Amino acid sequence: LFAQADKVEILLVGTGKDLRPLPAALRAAMKEAGISADPMSTGAAVRTYNVLLAEDRAVAAALIAVD
């Protein structure tokens, strides 16, 4: 992702069923690369990804699968 940072504005992180914070070092690295990293439940991340993609935003997602 860092190699493609110029093409990604927002990273949505689907953390499964429960919201879990991103480690401080990862948040700092993302901020330094100019990427806004937003953790949320996977379902919310998928919905948000689709909306942002429809708006032609530079969005990427890292998702943990849920049942």
Task: Provide mean pLDDT across the span 40-63.
Answer: 97
Residue 67 exposure: Cα atoms within 13 Å on the Cβ side = 0
Q: Which of 29, 32, 57, 61 is nearest to 45 (CA)?
A: 61
Rounded to two decimals, what is the model's pTM? 0.91
The answer to whether residue 67 scores a pLDDT higher than 90 is no
Residue in this structure with the two tokens 């992702």, named with its chain if needed? 1
Tell me the per-residue pLDDT of 2-49, one tens digit each, with 9 for 90 and over.
999 999 999 999 999 999 999 999 999 999 999 999 999 999 999 999
Q: Structural domains in the chain?
A: 2-16+27-63 (3.40.1230.10)
Predicted local confidence at residue 40, as pLDDT: 97
7: buried, middle or exposed (CB in 10 Å: 19+, 13-18, 0-12)? exposed
pLDDT band at 52 (very low <50, low <70, confident <90, very high): very high
